[in-house]
Amino acid sequence: MKMKVKFSIGFKMAVAMTIGLFAVISLFSNASVKLSEKRLLNLATGEASKVSSAIKSSLENAMLGDEGEGLQLIIDSVGKESMVRDIKIIDLDATVKYAKDHDDIDVQLDQSAESCRICHEKAQLSQQNLTVFFTDENGSRVLRNVNPIHNKERCHQCHDPETDVLGKLMVDFTTDDIDKMVIDNRKLLIFSAVATLLSSIILCFLLGNILVKKPLRKLLMKMQYAGDEEANADTVVHGKDEIDILNSTYDSLMNTIEARNQRIKTQMEELMALFNVSEILNKSDSINDNVDLILKALSLGFHVQECAIFAVDGAGAIQERGTYGLEPTKSSTIISCLSKQRETIDQGATFIANGCDDLEEFMVVPLKASGNTVGVITVHAVTDMEIDNEELQKSFAIIATSLAPHFQIGLNQAAKQDMQAGPFNAFTTTIEDEISKMRDYFGSLSLALISIKDYNNICGEKGAQEASDEVQQLAVDISKNISVVHECSRIGLYTVAILLPMHDSMEAPEVINTAVQQLDTNLELRIKTATFPEDGDNALELLHSLRS
């Protein structure tokens, strides 16, 4: 007995499930898209604020030097970025002083316009950094950040100290990338919803056939052939099932998963290459014995075809430490070229060297430790990428920050023996210098204070001079036990401060505790650590967090 499909239980179950699933999937898909868009906008708001602050910082020197052309050059350069739609510096009268579009200069903005009013209605712009979204006259969304330019103390030579705010930096960003991500996400969810609905219908038909239709058909056939013992109801059922369709769907799904796994594997290989560099550095006092391994790891992680590492000794001589993919004869030519550009190298910024004999232009990444140039990384060729790629330069700048300390590990033993107590102000200056470097390379810096709990009792038992000598010796011994780059100074009667560049809040306590455990002392010590930027944005904030 055959039955029309539209009257079958499987069909009814499929229709009911389709309606229910469509409602549920539509609801959750819409919520997911909205939540994703909200998170992306929040992320974009935070990043816009950071970019605006970075631009303002880059403009400070030009502002202090009253270099109008320098300000405009910086604005023109930043304005070329694809994500920057507009950039202006505005005074308190809403008059444009500098702008990406030179035609806007000296134009007084209409503060009643919607793009201005939306900010002024939210908050007092002269007191805070504000980021808002609005739609321009063309219907495009714009992310605007307004950053007040405060009248700092060093600005008072030109501006009235009574004025809190001199003007505003206004940067407009496009949201095209965010909108594209939202649209792509919506398409993916729609595709997933359709695929889920189709799979559910197939499953309903399959379950209806196996659990309902087939047993009922067998029962009906048995009733029909009840008088024929040799009849077999199973042989009477004809037709095709959907197992082949499910099988092909499964194969397609597995192929998609395999392709995705391959992409993840490739990414993991690159990350593992960088992890290997980190492991090599963590297990070595110096990179001299492991240069070849480091170069190999860099070639895998960044697809570098030709690169080299050079060291700079105390006399300023440049020496090869290792090369990858370069002809041996090129080393001397590279060293000659680098020697001619020592002043640029000593500035510490990554740059592109050109004009060298028999050499095409190449990237130069200085390695600086404790304020000195200790080495150089040169990159000559990268697979499918130009060496002047900005992201590549940023990555190698971060690598240089990690490699540099391993050319110059800590103080030498003689210097540690003769170490004297450093003035508090001098040490805070050292902290500020290191924090400035960390900002450039987006790194972490940790500060540890080690205090003697019973110092007053020691003074009573041994005298003030001997107690002071014990604190001084404690600083020397701890500094000897720390194998990574650090600064150690006595900043109080019974307190020693240790500065650990490129160490985060997880690594610093382990380094300090290991050094303390190696001490041969009966002193009761109190150890506290703080990390930039989590616990403070400057030296005094870090010290204050440790004192509290």
For residue 500, list its beta bridge partners. Answer: 446
Tell me 155's DSSP state. Answer: G
Helix (H) or strand (E) holding 65: none
CB atoms within 10 A of CB 461: 10
**What local confidence, expressed as pLDDT, does residue 178 receive?**
77
Residues 48 and 41: their CA atoms lie apart, in Å, by 10
Assigned token pair, 538: 């400057």
Tell me 107's DSSP state. Answer: P
**What local confidence, expressed as pLDDT, does residue 307 receive?**
92
For each successive 10 residues of the chain (548 residues), what is the average pLDDT? 54 74 80 80 79 77 68 78 80 78 76 64 60 75 80 72 77 80 80 79 73 58 51 42 42 70 68 68 64 82 88 81 88 90 88 85 86 87 86 81 65 38 67 83 85 83 82 87 83 85 88 89 88 87 78
Q: Around 537, how many Cα atoms within 13 Å sit in the side-chain half-sphere?
A: 0
**What local confidence, expressed as pLDDT, does residue 352 receive?**
92
Assigned token pair, 360: 């095409």
**What local confidence, expressed as pLDDT, does residue 363 receive?**
94
**What local confidence, expressed as pLDDT, does residue 365 receive?**
92
Q: Using CB atoms within 10 Å of the CB of residue 147, give its burial: 0 to 12 exposed, 13 to 18 middle, 19+ buried.
A: buried
Residues 487 and 509: their CA atoms lie apart, in Å, by 15
Domains and CATH numbers, the chain: 68-178 (3.30.450.290), 281-407 (3.30.450.40), 413-547 (3.30.70.270)
Tell me 454's DSSP state. Answer: T
Do residues 221 and 236 lie in contact, with contact meaning Cβ atoms separated by under 8 Å? yes
Residues 367 and 173: their CA atoms lie apart, in Å, by 34
Assigned token pair, 545: 């967090």
Length of the chain, please? 548
Q: Give whole-number Cα distances, 404 to 120, 180, 275, 326, in Å.
A: 48, 40, 17, 22
